[in-house]
Structure 1
Amino acid sequence: MGHRTIRRTSVTLPSLDEPGRYLSSVASLEGGRGRVAEFHYGDADLRALELAETHLIDGRVTGLRVQRARLDKLRVDSVEFIGCDLASLHWSGSKVTRAVFRDCKLLGAILEDVTLDHVLFEDCRLDYSTLTRVRCVGPVVFVRCSLRETTFDAVDLSAAALDDCDLRLAEFNGGRYRGLDLRGNDLSQLRGLAVLKQVIIDRAQTPQLAEALAAELDVTYGEDVDDT
């Protein structure tokens, strides 16, 4: 079983390529009795994807392109999502365990009441997304992800680490962030700094936070004031 480690945060990855394991190709993610296991689903172009009360176990989803996706009360265990484009994604009331999202587009996604445990986001685009009451109950890692203007509202990222991510104008509104590892990122354009108490940064990032705070407070520098 593989792992992906960023500094002190280590995510356990799905073990889908073990000797003797075979993933069966499926034509749909809507399985009998709401369960799809040991599967491969890929290269599909869908107008809409709606899954409710479905359990995805030990599988790989590749090249899925959806114009509108709605996922509700979904359980995901040991699944990889590779090269997927889930437009207009609304994901709610779900739990995701030991999962990988790699090279995926989740632009403008809405995630509400989703629990994450051992989840890796790598080279993904989540720009303009809104995460509301998302909880990281186990390690979660974002690597080289774009999170421009993403809003984190009442989320728990205390078990998360971000590395080399684009956080321009990302906004934090309430939530729990103690222990969030922000080393290795440019923090100069963050918003909502007041809630980022007890996060982990490098000393070299302190000027970046100062720059972000000055922008958030809309301060005026003395050298720009005409005192005449």
Structure 2
Amino acid sequence: MASRTFGRVTVTTPALDEPGLYLSVVDSLDSPRGVVQDFTYGDVDLRSLSLTGIQLITGRVSDVRAKQVEFDTLNLHGVEITSSDLGSVRWSRSKLTRVHFRDCKLMGTALDDVVLDDVLFEKCRFDYGSFEKVRATGSVVFVGCVFTEAAFTDCDLSDAVFSDCGLRLTDFGGGRYRDTDLRGNDLSQIRGVANLVKVRIDPSQQTDLAQALVDELSISIGDA
């Protein structure tokens, strides 16, 4: 079983290179049976990609480029998604288990009511994205990701890890962040500092949070 460790958190990742596992090439991620299993799919340019009520189990998705993406009740288990550009993806009412995203662009993404269980996002871009009611029920790690002006609202990111991420003007709205690990990030330009109750930071990041709070409250500092 493949895994990666980040600080106190270990993520179980898809084991797609195990002996005896054969992945068949498919030309679509849709299926009348509602299940696509043991598959590989990719190297396609699409105007739109829409999937509803589908389960993707044990497979690879790579080099998929789609301008508009809509996923509803799309559940993933043991899936790797790499080098893909899923523009303006709307993803709702779904569960992701043992999923690894790497080198993907999900700019402007909107995740709503999505459950994450053993999910690793590596070198992905979520600029201007929105995360609403996203829940981490297992290990969740964002490493080397960019969240410029992204927003988290009513999420439970307890025990999640953000490592070496770009958090410029990222808004951490109301939600649960107990033991969320923010060490190793520049926090000086984040928003919603007051909501980050019981997160983990390095001693050196106290100055970052103070600066973020001063900016958020528009506090003037000086003698004049």
TM-score class normalised by the smaller sequence? over 0.9
Find out whether 1:64 has 2:64 as its counterpart.
yes
- Could you say which residue in structure 1 is the equivalent of 2:25? 25
Which aligned pairs between 1:32-181 and structure 2 lie closer than 5 A? 32-181=32-181
Runs of at least 5 residues in structure 2 that lack an aligned partner in the other structure: none
Aligned length: 224
Moved beyond 2 Å, runs of 4+: none
Secondary structure class of the residue paired with 1:106: coil
Deviations 1:63-111 (A, max 9, x none): 0000100000111000000001000100000000000000000000000
Amino acid in the other structure paired with 1:130:
S
**Offset at 1:32?**
3.5
Runs of at least 5 residues in structure 1 that lack an aligned partner in the other structure: none
Pick the structure with greater CA Rg.
1
Distance 1:96 1:159 in 2: 17
Find out whether 1:4 has 2:4 as its counterpart.
yes
Distance 1:78 1:60 in 2: 9
| TM-score normalised over the length of structure 1 | 0.97
- Could you say which residue in structure 2 is the equivalent of 1:199? 199
**Offset at 1:4?**
1.2
Q: Percent identity?
A: 53
Amino acid in the other structure paired with 1:4:
R
Deviations 1:155-206 (A, max 9, x none): 0100200100000000011010011000010100010111100000011110
Find out whether 1:187 has 2:184 as its counterpart.
no
Contact preservation (8 Å) 1:87, 1:105 = yes
Secondary structure class of the residue paired with 2:154: strand
**Offset at 1:221?**
1.1
Amino acid in the other structure paired with 2:88:
S
| TM-score normalised over the length of structure 2 | 0.99
Contact preservation (8 Å) 1:137, 1:159 = no
Distance 1:171 1:69 in 2: 24
Amino acid in the other structure paired with 1:194:
A
- Could you say which residue in structure 1 is the equivalent of 2:220? 220
